[in-house]
Structure 1
Amino acid sequence: MSQHANDIFLSAVLDRPVISLSGREVGKLLDVAMSPGDPLPVVHHLLVKTTTGTRRVAFSDLALFNQVVVSLKREPESLPNLPVAENEVLMRRDILDKQIVDVDGAKVVRVNDLKLALTGNGLCLSAVDVGFRGILRRLGYLKAWDFLGGALHRQLPAKEIDWLLVAPLEANLSQLTLTVTRDKLSDMHPADLANIIAQLPHRNVTAVLNSIDLEAAGEAIGEMEPEMSSRVLSQLESAHAADVLEEMPPDEAADVLAELSDEKARELLAQMDPEDAEKVQELLEHEDDSAGGLMNNEFLFVPPEATVEETLAQVRLLADEIDNIYYVYVLDKDERVQGVTSLKRLLLARGEEPIAGIMSRNPKTVQVDSSLEDVLELVVEYKFAAVPVLEEDGRMAGIVSADDIMEHFLPFALRWKQYKALRNF
C-alpha cells in the first residue's frame, strides 16, 4: 500500500468505485472482511461487486484505500479471486447496524458506523460510532451539521467506543471478541449484566451468556425476576442451563425452576450435580408464600464442641460456596439449633475458646410453613440479618435473609419500576 488515511470510516468507502491500475472502474466496494488481529481485528480482503458477480480481493493487492479512492495495484484479471472463507466476518453485513455490548458503559448500543485505523499490523477496526454523528455521516449531512454547529457554537459530540471495550453479539463474531472483553463482561456487577441481557433480542442472549463464565452468568440471572430468568435460561442448551443453575444459590435456582414447566424443570434437575439438585428440589417442595419457599438451605454451622479457631477455619473453607454469611449456627448431632453467633463476635473471641461459650442461646426462629409476615416481623423487630427456619421436627432447614424478605415486601411502585426497566426483554 502506498498511502492511507490515518482514520477511515466504513460509511465513507462503502459503494465507492474500485479502480484498476489503468484507471478502469472494476466495480463497487460491497463489503470489508476482517480477520482476528493482536489486539485489533485486521482488514483481510474486500468484496467488490462487478458486472459478473462478487470478487474477493486481498487487501495486500490494493494500491490505495481511502475515502476518496480505492484502487488496485494491477488489472483485476491478473489478481486471484479469493475463495469464500469459512466463518467470514464482514463489517457491513455482520457489524454495521447491529447491536453490541458496551462493556465499559454497561449497556447495549447500536453500531452506526465503524472506524478503521492504520497500525503496524495493517488497517484495523479500531472503534465503533454509536452516536448521531455516525447516522449523519452515512446520510451525507455531517459536514453541513458541523458547519451549522460551528456557527451556533454547539458542536455535536462524537460517541465512539474503542473496539477493546465492546462485545459483538452475533455468533459468527466470536472470533473477533477479545479475551479482555470477555473478562470485562464477567467482571461487571451482576445487576449491570442482568440489565444488558434484558435489553438484548432473544437471539443474542445465548451469545452473551456463552461468552462469560458460569459464575457471572448465574449471578446475573439471579438478579432478574424469576419469570424473566426462566425465559433466559430456557434459551440455553440444557447442559449449559444446568451448569448455570449450579452456580446460583439454591433458593434462586428454585425460584427460576418454579417458573418452568414440570418437564423442563425435571430435565434440568437431572443434569445438575446430584448434591446441588437435591438442595434445589427440597426448596421446590415448599409453598412460595411461606418461610420455606423463600429460604436458602445453604448456611454455616458447627457442632457445640467446636472452638472459635475451628469455626473460623470452617468459615474460610465454605465462604466461597455460600452466597451470604451472616451468622454461624451451632447445631447438635440431630441438627437442632443450640445457638448462634455473629461473625463480629467470632472475630473478637480467643481462638481456643469454645463456640458454646460465645454463642447466643435460644435464637428466634420460624417454621418452614410460617408466613412471610412472621419472618418480616422478626427482621424488623430484632434487626436480624437472617432468620433460621426449622422443620416440623425441629431440625434446621435453612435461613431467610433480611435482603430476601425486604425485597419480597418492596412497595408495589418500586417493583413496577424495576419491571418496566427490564420489560424490553
Structure 2
Amino acid sequence: MPAAQTFYLSRILGNKVWSNSKHIVGKLLDLVVDVTAVRPQVIAVKMKIGNKVRIIDFSTFEITKKNKQYYIECKNLKDKEISTENTLFLVKHILDKQIVDMYGRKVVRVNDLRLAILSNGVYMLAVDVGFEGLLRRLGVAKPLKNIMKPMGINIPSRFLLWDDVETIDFIRQGIKLSTSYNKLSTLHPSDLADILEDLDRSTQLAVFSSLDIEKAADVLEELEPDAQVNVIESLTVDKAAIMLEKMPADEVADILDELDEEQAIEILNQMERVVSEEVRELMDYPEKSVGSLMTTEFISFHENMTVNEGH
C-alpha cells in the first residue's frame, strides 16, 4: 500500500474491482471494519461478483489513484469469515445513520466517511457530517465549489474524528458490540437526556436499556414528560418500579400521572411500600395545587448547627 493517502468512502462505492491481470472481477458495495483496533481497520470488502454478493478478505486489495480516479485491485478473491461482535459495515451501519458528537453533545447525521491508506492497512479516520459531504455523495460538490469560489462563497465542511463520536443506531438483530454506548454512559445525565430526546422512539429505548439502573434513573429524571412516558411504557412493571424507586417521589408522581391509570397502579403496587405511599399521597392532590407541586424529600438543619456538625 502507498504511504499516507486519504480518500472518501463515497468515492469508491460502486467502483469496479480489477484483478492483477486487469480483468473486472466485481463491484465494491461496502467495506467491513474491525472496531477492536485503535482505529477501525478495514478487514473485508462486500462485493458483487456476477450474481452473487460475497465478503472478500481485504488483505489482497490495493487502492490507488490514477488520473484522479480510484483504482481498486484485488490479487486474490478469498472469502472471509467475520465476527458479528466486533465488526461494522460502513455503508450498512454508519453511512446516513445518526451518531452522537461527543464533543458537541448532539445527534448528527453521517454524510460520508474519510479513510486513510497507510503502510499496514486502511483505517477509518473521521466521519463527515457537513453539507459538503452530502453534495459529494450526490456528485455535485466539485462543480458547485468551482461555481461558488469566485463569489467568495465556501461550502461548509465538518469532520468528527472517530474518537469523538458514538454510534447509536446500528442496532440490528444478531449483532451486539461489546463496546455499545460506552462513550454515552460517561455523559452527564442532562446531556444524555438531551441526546435521547433527539432520537426516534426505538433508538431512545435501545440506548436507555443499555444504561445501568442508577444512570437510567438519573437520565429519566432529566427527560421531558413525553419521553419519560415513552420509556416507562416500554419497561416491564418490575423494572419500571425499581427505576422509579430511585427517583424523588414528586418526580415519580408526575410521571405516573401521565400513564394509564391501570398501569400506574400496577407499578405502585410493585414498588416498596414506603415509597409507594409517598407517591400515592402526592398523586391524591389536585393537579397544579400546592400539594401536587411539593416534595416529600428535603434536608433540615437546626439553626444553631455548625458546618462541621452538618458535614
**Are 2:179 and 1:181 aligned?**
no
- Cα offset, 1:180, TM superposition: 5.8
Aligned partner of 1:197: which letter?
L
Aligned partner of 1:234: which letter?
E
- Cα offset, 1:85, TM superposition: 4.6
Q: Could you say which residue in structure 2 is the equivalent of 1:31?
A: 30
Distance change >3 Å, CA 227–CA 140, structure 1 → 2: closer
Q: Could you say which residue in structure 2 is the equivalent of 1:314?
A: none
Q: CA RMSD in A?
A: 3.0
Aligned partner of 1:82: which letter?
K
SS in 1 for 2:255: helix
**Are 2:299 and 1:297 aligned?**
no
Among 62, 79, 82, the residue aligned to 2:80:
82
Q: Could you say which residue in structure 1 is the equivalent of 2:154?
A: 155
Q: Could you say which residue in structure 2 is the equivalent of 1:72?
A: 74
Aligned partner of 2:188: which letter?
D
Kindly report which structure 2 residues correspond to 1:41-52, keeping only aligned pairs within 5 A, or say none.
41-52=40-51
Is there any run of 5+ residues in structure 2 with no aligned partner, and where? none
Separation (CA, whole Å) in 2 of partners of 1:12 and 1:346: 70
Separation (CA, whole Å) in 2 of partners of 1:17 and 1:5: 23
Distance change >3 Å, CA 236–CA 104, structure 1 → 2: farther
Q: Could you say which residue in structure 1 is the equivalent of 2:109?
A: 110
SS in 2 for 1:196: helix
SS in 1 for 2:21: coil
Aligned partner of 1:163: which letter?
W
SS in 2 for 1:175: coil
- Higher mean alpha-carbon deviation, 44-53 vs 281-290, is at 281-290
Q: 1 or 2 for the larger relative contact order (CA 8 Å, sep ≥6)?
A: 2
SS in 2 for 1:200: coil
Q: Deviations over 1:279-309 (max 9, x none)?
A: 3334333333333322221223xxxxxxxxx
SS in 1 for 2:114: strand
SS in 1 for 2:91: helix
SS in 2 for 1:40: coil
Give the TM-score normalised by the residue count of structure 2: 0.83
Contact residue 36 and residue 176 of structure 1 kept, 8 A: no
Kindly report which structure 2 residues correspond to 1:182-197, keeping only aligned pairs within 5 A, or say none.
182-184=184-186, 186-187=187-188, 190=190, 192-197=191-196
Distance change >3 Å, CA 256–CA 351, structure 1 → 2: closer
Q: Could you say which residue in structure 1 is the equivalent of 2:133?
A: 134
Give the TM-score normalised by the residue count of structure 1: 0.63
Separation (CA, whole Å) in 1 of partners of 2:119 and 2:278: 55
Contact residue 167 and residue 181 of structure 2 kept, 8 A: no
Separation (CA, whole Å) in 1 of partners of 2:239 and 2:121: 38
Q: Could you say which residue in structure 2 is the equivalent of 1:381?
A: none
Kindly report which structure 2 residues correspond to 1:248-263, keeping only aligned pairs within 5 A, or say none.
248-263=247-262
Separation (CA, whole Å) in 1 of partners of 2:39 and 2:279: 44
Whichever of the two has the greater Rg, that structure is 1
Aligned partner of 1:159: which letter?
R
Q: Deviations over 1:7-65 (max 9, x none)?
A: 22111111011111211111110111122224332222110012130111112121336
Separation (CA, whole Å) in 1 of partners of 2:201 and 2:252: 21
Kindly report which structure 2 residues correspond to 1:10-409, keeping only aligned pairs within 5 A, or say none.
10-64=9-63, 68-74=70-76, 76=77, 79=78, 81-83=79-81, 85-86=83-84, 89-118=88-117, 122-170=121-169, 171-172=171-172, 175=177, 177=179, 181-184=183-186, 186-187=187-188, 190=190, 192-273=191-272, 275-300=274-299, 328=300, 341=303, 346-347=305-306, 351=309
SS in 2 for 1:3: coil
Contact residue 127 and residue 161 of structure 1 kept, 8 A: yes
Q: Could you say which residue in structure 2 is the equivalent of 1:334?
A: none
Contact residue 111 and residue 129 of structure 1 kept, 8 A: yes
Distance change >3 Å, CA 141–CA 201, structure 1 → 2: same
Separation (CA, whole Å) in 2 of partners of 1:136 and 1:176: 34
Aligned partner of 1:181: which letter?
K
